[in-house]
C-alpha cells in the first residue's frame, strides 16, 4: 500500500493573504482550492476560477502572473469549462493546485497575484457560478447500501435488496443535458402517476411526490479509450474531483414507470450539482477504508478488488440537508437541518464504480459526471431522501413553524452541504448545492385539455 499522499498543500499551518480563507468555518481555506467556472456582470464570459475564502481567484488572468504553469495548463485555463483541464490528468491538476496555493499564500514574497489582487480576485458575491464541466455523460450509481435497503423496503418490499447488490455496483445512465448548477429553480415535472387501484388507468398531472436524493458526484479526469477498461488499481487516479449532487426524483412517476428498465422521466427533469469541484488531491487527508463488509458478504470480484482501495478508497465527508419553505423565508426563519449523513457509508468506492463502468470497454470522457447513489446511514436520522426519511410521506417532517412535509411542495428549497474534518488538518468544505422547487408548467397541460 502506498502512503497517503500528503504535502505542503495540506499543511495546517498555511495561511492565505485572503483573510476570510483563514477563518475556521470557511469551506475554502488555502488547503482546499476547488475549481469552478464563474462570470461577473462586468465580464460575462465564463472563466475558470478557484474558490478562496469569500473570493474567487480568476485563473485565466492569474495564469499570466506566473511562469510556472506548463503550456497545456495555460491553454486549458483559457477555456469556458474544466473539460480540457481535467483531460490533462491528475499530475497536471496536482501541479495547478500547488501553484494556485503558492499564489494565494500569505508568506509569498514578490507575489504578483497579491500585488494585483484587486484585478485577479473577485468577491464571491459578484460571481455567477456555472456548470463546471460540459457534462457529456452522466451516470448514477446505487452504491449507498442503507438507501438501497430502506428505499427497497418501501418500493419493492418483497425484495428490498436485489440479489446482485453485493456483487454488482448497480447504476443506470442518467440524463446529462439536465444537469445544472444548484442555485436555480427546479421545475416540478408533469407525468403519469400510478393507478389508484389495479386495473384502473394512471392519472396525469404534476408530480405529487417530489423528492431529493443526497449524493456525492465526481468528475472524470482523462478517462479511457473505447475497449480499454480502467483497472481498479488505476481508477482513483482517473477521478479529477468531487462535488455534492442532488438527484431530484419524482417518486410517483418513478413507481409507475420503472419496471422493467429503470427510472426515466422520474429523474431526467433535473440533477443539481454544487458549483465547486473539490480536487481529489485536496481530499487526501480525508480518505478512509472502504465500508467494512459484514461477515458473510462476498469479497468483490478481482476486477473490483484492490488492497490500496480497500484501505483508503472510502471518503469521510460529513453531509447535511437543509430545508427552507416559502413561509419560513417570509418570516426570516433560517433553513432547518433535517438530516445528516456521511460518504463513508457507500458500499462501493468511487474507484470500484470507475472500474466497473469501464470493464466492458465503455469509454469515460474528461468531465463526465458520476453520481454515487443516495448516501443514507444506518440510523433513522441519516435516511437521505424524503421517501426514506418520512416513510413514503406517512411520517412527515415537522418544522419549527408547524409546517409538515411528506414530500416537497412548491417554493421549498433544499440545500446540501458537505465538510471534511480530521484532527491535525484544516477542515475543508464543498460549498452548497441548492435548488428551489418551482410550480409545474401547467399551461401546456391546460392547452391539451381545452
The cell numbers describing 157, all together, are 418490499
> Is residue 388 a contact point for Ca ion (CB under 5 A)?
no
Binding mask 159-188 for Ca ion (x = CB under 5 A): ------------------------------
Q: Which stretch binds Ca ion (CB under 5 A): 57-65, 123-131, 138-146, 272-280?
A: 138-146
CA 301 centroid distance within chain: 27
Cα dihedral value 67, 71, 73, 78, nearest 10: 100
DSSP state of 206: E
Work out the end-to-end distance of the chain between its first and last CA atoms, rounded to an integer number of angstroms. Answer: 68
User: What ranges in 109-257 are assigned the alpha helix state H?
Assistant: 112-115, 117-120, 145-155, 232-235, 251-257
Work out which of 140, 306, 309, 382 binds Ca ion, going by CB under 5 A: 140
**147 given a catalytic annotation:** yes
Go through 165-193 and write b for each residue having 16 or more CB atoms within 10 A of its CB, e for each that does not: bbeebbbeebbbebbbbbbeebbbbbbbb
What's phi and psi for 300, nearest 5 deg? -55, 145
Q: Which stretch binds Ca ion (CB under 5 A): 9-17, 140-148, 179-187, 360-368?
A: 140-148
Residue closer to Ca ion (CB basis): 26 or 372? 372
Tell me how far apart the alpha carbons of residues 77 and 172 are, in angstroms, rounded to a whole number.
32
DSSP per residue over 37-64, as a string? EEEESS--S-EEEEEETTEEEEHHHHGG
Q: Which stretch binds Ca ion (CB under 5 A): 139-147, 222-230, 275-283, 289-297?
A: 139-147
> Is residue 105 a contact point for Ca ion (CB under 5 A)?
no
Considering 10, 55, 130, 147, which one is annotated as catalytic?
Answer: 147
> Is residue 213 a contact point for Ca ion (CB under 5 A)?
yes
Residue closer to Ca ion (CB basis): 27 or 140? 140
Coil vs helix vs strand at 23: coil
Q: Which stretch binds Ca ion (CB under 5 A): 27-35, 208-216, 293-301, 431-439?
A: 208-216
Total residues at the site for Ca ion (CB under 5 A)?
Answer: 3
Q: Supply the minimum distance, in Å, between the C-beta of residue 445 and Ca ion.
A: 27
CB count, 10 Å around CB of 78?
A: 12
Residue closer to Ca ion (CB basis): 111 or 139? 139
Tell me how far apart the alpha carbons of residues 110 and 115 are, in angstroms, rounded to a whole number.
8
Residue closer to Ca ion (CB basis): 39 or 374? 374
> Is residue 211 a contact point for Ca ion (CB under 5 A)?
no
Work out which of 238, 247, 309, 320 binds Ca ion, going by CB under 5 A: 247
Q: Which residues bind Ca ion (CB under 5 A)?
A: 140, 213, 247
List residues with catalytic annotation: 147
Amino acid at each position: 500500500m502506498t502512503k497517503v499522499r500528503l504535502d505542503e498543500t495540506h499543511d495546517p499551518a498555511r495561511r492565505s493573504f485572503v483573510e476570510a480563507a483563514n477563518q475556521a468555518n470557511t469551506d475554502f481555506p488555502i488547503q482546499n482550492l476547488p475549481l469552478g467556472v464563474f462570470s461577473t456582470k462586468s465580464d460575462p464570459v465564463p472563466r475558470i476560477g478557484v474558490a478562496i475564502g469569500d473570493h474567487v481567484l480568476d485563473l485565466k488572468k492569474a495564469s499570466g502572473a506566473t511562469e510556472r504553469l506548463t503550456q497545456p495548463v495555460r491553454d486549458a485555463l483559457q477555456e469556458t469549462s474544466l473539460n480540457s483541464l481535467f483531460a490533462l490528468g491528475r499530475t497536471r491538476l496536482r501541479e495547478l493546485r500547488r501553484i494556485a496555493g503558492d499564489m494565494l499564500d500569505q508568506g509569498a514574497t514578490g507575489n504578483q497575484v497579491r500585488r494585483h489582487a484587486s484585478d485577479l480576485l473577485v468577491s464571491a458575491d459578484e460571481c455567477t457560478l456555472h456548470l463546471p464541466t460540459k457534462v457529456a455523460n452522466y451516470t448514477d450509481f446505487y452504491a449507498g447500501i442503507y438507501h438501497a435497503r430502506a428505499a427497497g423496503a418501501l418500493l419493492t418490499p418483497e425484495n428490498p435488496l436485489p440479489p446482485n447488490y453485493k456483487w454488482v455496483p448497480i447504476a443506470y445512465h442518467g440524463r446529462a443535458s439536465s444537469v445544472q448548477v444548484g442555485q436555480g429553480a427546479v421545475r416540478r415535472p408533469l407525468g403519469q402517476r400510478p393507478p389508484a387501484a389495479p386495473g384502473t388507468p394512471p392519472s396525469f398531472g404534476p408530480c405529487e411526490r417530489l423528492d431529493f436524493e443526497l449524493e456525492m458526484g465526481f468528475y472524470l479526469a482523462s478517462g479511457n479509450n473505447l475497449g480499454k477498461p480502467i483497472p481498479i488499481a488505476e481508477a482513483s487516479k482517473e477521478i479529477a474531483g468531487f462535488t455534492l449532487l442532488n438527484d431530484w426524483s419524482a417518486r410517483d412517476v418513478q413507481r409507475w414507470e420503472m419496471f422493467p428498465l429503470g427510472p426515466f422521466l422520474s429523474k431526467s427533469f433535473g440533477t443539481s450539482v454544487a458549483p465547486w469541484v473539490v480536487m481529489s488531491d485536496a481530499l487526501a487527508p480525508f480518505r478512509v477504508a472502504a465500508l467494512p463488509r459484514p461477515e458473510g458478504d462476498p469479497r468483490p470480484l478481482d476486477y473490483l478488488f484492490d488492497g490500496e482501495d480497500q484501505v483508503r478508497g472510502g471518503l469521510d465527508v460529513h453531509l447535511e440537508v437543509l430545508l427552507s419553505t416559502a413561509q419560513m423565508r417570509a418570516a426570516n426563519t433560517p433553513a432547518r437541518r433535517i438530516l445528516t449523513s456521511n460518504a463513508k457509508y457507500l458500499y462501493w468506492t468511487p474507484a470500484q464504480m470507475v472500474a466497473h463502468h469501464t470493464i466492458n470497454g465503455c469509454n469515460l470522457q474528461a468531465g463526465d459526471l458520476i453520481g454515487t447513489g443516495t448516501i443514507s446511514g444506518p440510523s433513522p436520522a441519516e435516511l437521505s431522501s424524503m421517501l426514506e426519511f418520512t416513510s413514503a410521506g406517512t411520517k412527515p417532517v415537522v418544522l419549527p413553524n408547524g409546517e409538515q412535509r411528506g414530500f416537497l411542495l412548491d417554493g421549498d428549497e433544499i440545500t446540501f452541504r458537505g465538510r471534511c474534518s480530521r484532527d491535525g488538518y484544516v477542515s475543508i468544505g464543498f460549498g452548497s448545492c441548492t435548488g428551489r422547487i418551482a410550480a409545474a408548467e401547467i399551461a401546456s397541460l391546460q392547452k391539451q385539455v381545452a
